[in-house]
C-alpha cells in the first residue's frame, strides 16, 4: 500500500485548535507506527515513525527535549 495523504486519517491535538498555530497532525499507519505532517502544509512531506520511534518522540516532547 502506497502511503498518501488521502488514505490516512489525520488528527490534531485539541490544544492546537487556534487558527494559525504551529501544529503537527498525526495519523496511525496501516501496519504499525505513526505518520506526522505540518498542519499548515497538508499536501507536504510526511514523516513516518515506527512504534518505537513514536514512543521516543512523545517521551522527548513530554520531557521538554525539543524546546
Domain spans, the chain? 21-53
Q: CA 23, CA 34: separation in Å to the nearest integer?
A: 16
pTM: 0.74
Classify 1 as helix, strand or coil.
Answer: coil
Q: What pLDDT was estimated at residue 1?
A: 43
Alpha-carbon span 26 to 47, nearest angstrom: 10
Long-range CB contacts (within 8 A, 24+) of 12-20: 12/39
pLDDT digits (tens, 9 = 90+) for 17-43: 566 567 889 999 988 899 999 888 888
The whole-angstrom separation of Cα 67 and Cα 65 is 6
More confident position, 46 or 13: 46
Amino acid at each position: 500500500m502506497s502511503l498518501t495523504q488521502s488514505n490516512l486519517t489525520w488528527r490534531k491535538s485539541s490544544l492546537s485548535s487556534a487558527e494559525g498555530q504551529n501544529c503537527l497532525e498525526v495519523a496511525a499507519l496501516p501496519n504499525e507506527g505513526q505518520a506526522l505532517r505540518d498542519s499548515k502544509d497538508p499536501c507536504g512531506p510526511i514523516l513516518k515513525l515506527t512504534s518505537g520511534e513514536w514512543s521516543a518522540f512523545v517521551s522527548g516532547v513530554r520531557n521538554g527535549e525539543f524546546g
